[in-house]
Amino acid sequence: MDKIAPIACFFLLGFFGSAQEIEQGVPWSKDVRLTWKDYKGTAPVADEAAATTASGISYTYSANLLHYEVHLDFEVNAYFYPSESWYRPKLCNENTLAHEQLHFDITEIFARKMRDKLRRTSFSDDVKAEVRKIYNDILKELQGYQERYDWETNFSRNREKQLEWNLKIAEALKKPE
């Protein structure tokens, strides 16, 4: 039983799209921080937000049946999508950029959660559906977490809460996988 299923997700303030709608993303790296030059999209006229960071999780896997057990080889990554990400220079500053970076960092945390869940799961012969369910559950949790982050920090305007989230996410990223 050999299967490969590439899937990508696009997170944009609660909106999800398919891989065909977005360009190749920039993978998350602890050594690379976003800059405003990375934001290549055009701000929608009707949207009043200061900035939007488009990020998502993609995965590929192959499953093999060995000695009556399903063995899964997989890759899960967090990506930033420059052409879907935008900002309004007159409304943004370095604090806004730091807030947007945390959205991407949060996506990485959930990519790690998915990798952990895939490592710990014993799969049946319906591995495709089981992997898809794990992915969809992670995306739902990610969306709620991103919304909570924006709500609690008031989109970076609540400096005290923003500092709390900065520390919380930095600690989560320090944990070994």
- Residues 63-115: tens digit of each pLDDT: 998 888 899 999 999 999 999 999 999 999 999 999 999 999 999 999 999 99
Whether residue 1 is contained in a domain is answered as no
Whether residue 82 is contained in a domain is answered as yes
Whether residue 132 is contained in a domain is answered as yes
Whether residue 85 is contained in a domain is answered as yes
Q: How far apart are CA 165 and CA 149, in angstroms?
A: 8
Say what the pTM is.
Answer: 0.86
Total count of domains within the chain: 1
* Rounded (10°) CA dihedral 136, 22, 103, 99: -160
Whether residue 2 is contained in a domain is answered as no
Domain encompassing residue 146: 7-174
